[in-house]
Amino acid sequence: MKAGAKNVIMVIAIVMLLGGFPLIVFATSGNTEVAGKVYEFDKDSYYEFHEGDSTQKTGGGNTYGTFYLSGDITAVSEKSGVQSYEVGDGNLAFYYNYGDTMLNAGEDDWHLVNDKSKKVADMKLDSDIMKGAIIIQTSKDRKNWVDVETVCNAFSDIPIRTSSIYSTADVQLINGCYYRVVVVYELSIRTEDSNFLFINTDKHDYKKYAEIYEFYACTDNGETNPVDPNQTYGLGTKVRVKNFDGYFGEELIDKKDVHYGWDIGNFFVSGYTDEAEDTDGDMVFLKNVGDKVTLWFKLNQNIDGLNGKDNLSVTADSEGYDQYFETPKMDFGRGVLIIRYTDHNNVKAEPTIYTNYLEANATVGADTKVQLFEEGDYEVALDYEITSDELIDKVGHYRIFFKFSVRNGNCMVYPFDVKTGSELTNSSMTENGFRLDLAKSRYLKINLKRETLKDSADGLVEDTRFNGPAKDGAEYTDEGIYTITVSNEYTGQFTTKKIYVGTNNILRAYMTTGLSIPEINSLVADGATIADDGTIQLAAVKPVEESTEPTEEESTTPSSSDAMVTSESEADTEPGTDVQDEKSFPIAALICIPLVCVIVAVAIVAIKRKRKPTEAAVDRHDDEGGVEQ
């Protein structure tokens, strides 16, 4: 960290302290050194740092090495008098790095020597301390400490140790946990070099040191509300196992069994919205946005006095294994919790094993978080050993086992433009194509149908080119209308979205208007236009004008004025046209009227000629002596 940044942090710290606010320093991922206390003891001590003996010398003396944490530490504050580290993600790794100066120093300098004792304060080790020991402990209350890791002869290695000595567990951080790292070693220096009769009579001084590092660590999981007792579901029942060491098979717990009639504790799940059963009868917990599905364990018994009996306790199984999970033989401690996760591809992860679970992580009468769960399938087992302290001890192995699944309760799919990255809503149109995103809902079923246009005898018609399953993350860039249907088998819900990829206006209108392709084609043929958003603009309709065509009577008795009116444009009209309008009447009049006149004239002349001979004959008759008029 740069000097300027350090100064800023110091100023902020001073202001907060003066203002009465708790000091919180925001950190970043990396290595965080932890300060400790150094205790000095004489040669015959057992590093009794826990007793507060007045002969102890404490202070900020030089340590053998440097202790630090590695992980995503997002904030540093204080809790119960020790540093508190908030972890953003993952776990913390513990490192104690040291040099080999004291290991290789000469007799006349302070140098590391073998301590062949096995006792450190009130702790009994399995091996001699030798050239230093590192002991890691956890506590739920900073009063009762449980050993979780011990490294003896820790500083004998050359080259320098650089690997982590311990990593925290999820179950520790989500509940919050105190940690104590105890580093002990013995040093010696020669104060007098002498030989008497070839016998080495050198004199030495000895000192023992204990470095103590205490801190608190937790994960901020965002949970502030207490568990709703009306929204929990209990899982698992106890059985006595047949295969003693492998915790496999089941036997009847009868009245003679020490575990008859009472339970050591119970598991339950909270933080879900709804539950269902799968085809095998196992529970499926449905979660929505903001839900935190959590598995809890409530310890109902004092593991040192089960069922109110002082001689009945949970004992450590140092050579147990779980046949179902195919674990190796290991020290289970006082109860082992095993969790295995199977993902949406049916890939089983390596089981997570929490040894000494009942002693180190569970508190009598308290709801202890086991783990937060995302989508997937889970198998959980708690294996433990119970011993009845009698003349001949009665030992039994017991197991609580169950399965459950977590699924997202929504039924959503999110299409994103492959170029712009913007989300496409229902009825969106893009020329680029789209990518499907299920937002980590891995168990939804997606069907995708793609439709395009093809030529037919009736013009352009829709044609289905694909209709089948789709997958998360797939990209679709071919032109067409895509109908995306998402279904959730546990809720029975369906969601449908339509996305158009391309530039064809007929398909755009088909998607947005709900009209069929033939209907759209008919409107276009009538002059309708389609906008880029798929909407259809109908052709404008002209108003009907008042008719100027002559009636039937007028057409049969044309007037002389009509017959004489002719325009230049009418004279230019091509003969034989099928169109009949006002131009055809004057032309017919010009041709027919003279012809009629000629015919009438001829008829009159013919009549007169016929009449004259008749009259002449009558006159002659009269003259010849006809009747007298």
Q: Please state the pTM of the whole predicted model.
A: 0.72
What's the whole-number mean pLDDT along residues 326-336?
96
Measuring CA to CA, which residue among 593, 589, 554 is closest to residue 570?
589
- How do 265-270 and 293-299 pair as beta strands? antiparallel
What's the whole-number mean pLDDT along residues 159-178?
87
pLDDT exceeds cutoff 60 at 403: yes
Q: What is the pLDDT of residue 456?
A: 58
pLDDT exceeds cutoff 90 at 120: yes
Residue-averaged pLDDT of the chain: 82
Instruction: Tell me which amino acid residue 527 is.
Output: G
Q: Give the Cα-Cα-Cα angle 532, 534, 535 (nearest 5 degrees).
A: 105
Q: Tally the C-alpha atoms within 13 A of residue 366's C-alpha that lie toward its C-beta.
A: 11
Give CA 208 to chain center in angstroms: 53
pLDDT exceeds cutoff 80 at 183: yes
What's the whole-number mean pLDDT along residues 482-507?
90
Work out the burial of residue 22: count CB atoms within 10 Å of its CB; fewer than 13 is exposed, 13-18 middle, 19 or more buried: exposed
What's the whole-number mean pLDDT along residues 254-278?
94
pLDDT exceeds cutoff 50 at 436: yes
- How do 493-501 and 428-430 pair as beta strands? parallel
Q: 228 or 259, which is more confident? A: 259
pLDDT exceeds cutoff 70 at 435: yes
What tokens does 228 get?
Answer: 């709703």
Q: 450 or 549, which is more confident? A: 450
Q: 79 or 560, which is more confident? A: 79
pLDDT exceeds cutoff 70 at 163: yes
Q: What is the pLDDT of residue 385?
A: 98
Q: What is the pLDDT of residue 588?
A: 54
Q: 473 or 28, which is more confident? A: 473
Per DSSP, the residues of 340-363 read: EEE-TT-PBPPPEEETTHHHHT--
Q: 488 or 459, which is more confident? A: 488
Q: 320 or 99, which is more confident? A: 320
- Cα–Cα distances in angstroms (integers) from residue 305 to residues 265, 302, 309, in the given order: 14, 5, 5
Q: What is the pLDDT of residue 363?
A: 85
pLDDT exceeds cutoff 60 at 264: yes
Measuring CA to CA, which residue among 338, 483, 317, 467 is closest to residue 396?
317
**Strand locations in 42-198 (E):** 57-59, 65-71, 73-79, 82-87, 93-98, 111-113, 119-120, 123-124, 133-139, 146-152, 166-167, 177-192, 195-196
Q: What is the pLDDT of residue 343?
A: 93
What's the rounded Cα separation, in Å, for the pair 303 and 358?
8
What's the rounded Cα separation, in Å, for the pair 542 and 488?
54
pLDDT classification of 545: cutoffs 50, 70, 90? low
Positive or negative, the Cα torsion across 253, 254, 259, 263? positive
Q: What is the pLDDT of residue 608?
A: 61
- Residues 6 or more apart from 501 whose CB is under 8 A from it? 429, 430, 431, 432, 433, 434, 476, 477, 478, 479, 480, 482
pLDDT exceeds cutoff 50 at 226: yes
What's the whole-number mean pLDDT along residues 5-21?
43
What's the rounded Cα separation, in Å, for the pair 573 and 588?
13
pLDDT exceeds cutoff 60 at 231: yes
Q: 349 or 24, which is more confident? A: 349
What's the rounded Cα separation, in Å, for the pair 181 and 165?
10
Helix, strand, or coil (residue 623): helix
What's the whole-number mean pLDDT along residues 585-589?
53
Average the pLDDT over each of 68-77, 265-274, 321-330, 523-532 and give the range with the smallest value: 523-532
**Cβ atoms of residues 258 and 222 within 8 Å:** no
What's the whole-number mean pLDDT along residues 210-229?
82
Q: Give the Cα-Cα-Cα angle 613, 616, 621 (nearest 5 degrees).
A: 125
Residue 320's CB: how many other CB atoms inside 10 A?
A: 23
Q: What is the pLDDT of residue 290?
A: 85
pLDDT classification of 94: cutoffs 50, 70, 90? very high
pLDDT classification of 618: cutoffs 50, 70, 90? very low
Per DSSP, the residues of 420-443 read: T-PBP-TTEEESS-EEEE-TT-TT
pLDDT exceeds cutoff 50 at 465: yes
What's the rounded Cα separation, in Å, for the pair 391 and 582?
132
Q: What is the pLDDT of residue 532?
A: 80
**Cβ atoms of residues 374 and 348 within 8 Å:** no
pLDDT exceeds cutoff 50 at 449: yes
Measuring CA to CA, which residue among 538, 514, 536, 513 is closest to residue 527?
538
Q: What is the pLDDT of residue 1?
A: 46
pLDDT exceeds cutoff 80 at 294: yes
Q: 74 or 58, which is more confident? A: 74
292-306 as b/e, with b when 16 or more CB fall inside 10 Å?
Answer: ebbbbbbbebbbeeb
What's the whole-number mean pLDDT along residues 376-399?
96
Average the pLDDT over each of 59-68, 437-446, 491-500 and give the range with the smallest value: 59-68
- Cα–Cα distances in angstroms (integers) from residue 586 to residues 91, 558, 562, in the given order: 105, 9, 6
pLDDT classification of 199: cutoffs 50, 70, 90? low
pLDDT exceeds cutoff 70 at 602: no
Measuring CA to CA, which residue among 570, 625, 560 is closest to residue 593?
560
Q: 269 or 577, which is more confident? A: 269
Which range among 483-487, 562-566, 620-624 has the greatest average pLDDT? 483-487
What's the rounded Cα separation, in Å, for the pair 312 and 300?
14
Q: What is the pLDDT of residue 522?
A: 86
Q: What is the pLDDT of residue 229?
A: 79
Crossing angle (nearest 10°) for helices 505-513 and 517-525? 120
Dihedral, CA of residue 166, residue 167, residue 170 and residue 172, to nearest 10:
40
Helix, strand, or coil (residue 322): coil
Phi, psi of 572 (to 5 degrees): -85, 0
